[in-house]
Amino acid sequence: MAIQWFPGHMHLTRQAIAERVKEIDVVIEVLDARLPGSSANPLLQEMTGHKPRLKILNKQDLADAVQTKAWLDWYNAQSETRAIALDASEPAPTKRLIEQCKLLAPGRGGMAKPMRVLICGVPNVGKSTLINSMSGKTQAKTGNEAGVTKLEQRIVLADDFYLWDTPGMLWPRIIVEKSGFNLAASGAVGRNAYDEELVVLELLIYLQKHYAPLLDARYKLGLDAAEIAALHDDELLTLIGKKRGAVMSGGRVNLQKAAELVLTDFRDAILGRISLETPAEFEAWLAEGQQKDAERQARKDALASARKRARAPRDNAAGAAGKKTDKASGSKPSAAKR
Ligand SMILES: Nc1nc2c(ncn2[C@@H]2O[C@H](COP(=O)(O)OP(=O)(O)OP(=O)(O)O)[C@@H](O)[C@H]2O)c(=O)[nH]1
Ligand SMILES: [Mg+2]
């Protein structure tokens, strides 16, 4: 089951960004350092790709430092892409960001040509928090849920430097299934658009493979990495539920409660610093998603032409019958249609 979330305010954001980008010098796309590939919005890429762009891998304090470095190297090896990692604990990211913007748009600055920067990204990734720390004031509303910012807002950083905060936006069809799950696990998807248990089972499959010692340390499973990796995902969730006391009367594990516990532990990095994808993994998921999408499109096209073919003999027959009637009545075909 694919996770999709594109509520009405995202349609409006899409239109607002399409308009705003015309008068923008630099686009800063804020990504989640735990899932840089999955949190890169292809719709934003399409809408803003012609502008100088900076990618910020935010919330690096929650991500696996080794993987964050791998992602930065991967992005910075691509021409036309600059990427830096950041987190809310950095007291003054402003200097670093202003420097990067000036490198990307060297002609801008000064009262006559102020720098105009658009900040965008998926929901809950830390855009408004970043803007507040850049401006040194609480100018933009923030909150630990997806969809806090609902309208774009201009923030004046200096007389010659403007920032636009935008509402978090996903895209109408997330073709990489794993990306939907990772976005939901990170908190970028509205609470009612996914099933927590399913999201946590997917999360556990990844953690079993890559972060088994962290699972063992947090939930005191008493198992080594190979034993943890060998468990079925729902066996593992049941075990975690037991260990954390998510048990209903009669002794059955409350899997929903267990899933909520794991999700909070992951989101708040109580489990430890975790990244949910490497560049190579994401590229493989993307290729698979694109292939499935192409197959889906081919099936749709085949169905559409089969329907057209099935309709054609009827239309022809109706056409022939129409002609006969026309002849018999002596009226013109167009008149018979009316
Ligand atoms: N650990 C950590 N938390 C962060 C960081 N940046 C932001 N947050 C938290 O993430 C949550 C979302 O932050 P916001 O700034 O509201 O995110 P946003 O991207 O503006 O979200 P929307 O307006 O919903 O699109 C808040 O609880 C922030 O405190 C960071 O670098 N590290
Ligand atoms: Mg916001």
Reading the block at residue 336, the tokens are 């018979």
Compute the distance between CA of residue 271 and CA of residue 288 in angstroms, rounded to an integer: 30
For ligand 2, a single-atom ion, the residues with CB < 5 A are: 127-128, 148-149
- pTM for the whole structure: 0.90
Q: Ligand 1 center to residue 55 CA distance, Å?
A: 16
Q: Ligand 2 center to residue 210 CA distance, Å?
A: 31
Say if ligand 1 is within 6 A of residue 13 CB.
no
Which of the residue ranges 141-155, 240-254, 263-277 would you say has the lowest mean pLDDT? 141-155
C-alpha separations of 320 from 274, 307, 315, 332 in Å: 69, 20, 8, 13
Closest ligand relative to 146 C-alpha? 1
**Digit-coded pLDDT (tens) for 122-180:** 999 999 999 888 888 888 889 898 888 888 899 898 889 999 999 999 999 999 999 99
Residue 247, pLDDT score: 94
- Equal fold, 9-165 vs 195-277: no
Closest ligand relative to 127 C-alpha? 1
Mutate to test the pocket of ligand 1, among 6, 9, 124 (most ligand atoms within 8 A of CB): 124
**Digit-coded pLDDT (tens) for 95-137:** 888 889 999 999 998 889 999 999 999 999 999 999 888 888 8
Query: Domains of the chain: which residue ranges?
Result: 9-165, 195-277
Query: CB of 48 within 8 A of CB of 21?
Result: yes
Report the CATH fold assignment for 195-277. Conserved Hypothetical Protein Ylqf; Chain: A; domain 2 (1.10.1580)
Yes or no: domain 9-165 corresponds to CATH 3.40.50.300: yes
What angle do helix axes 94-104 and 127-135 make, rounded to 10 degrees? 100
Strand pairing partners for 55?
Answer: 29, 83
Say if ligand 1 is within 6 A of residue 143 CB.
yes
Q: Ligand 1 center to residue 155 CA distance, Å?
A: 17
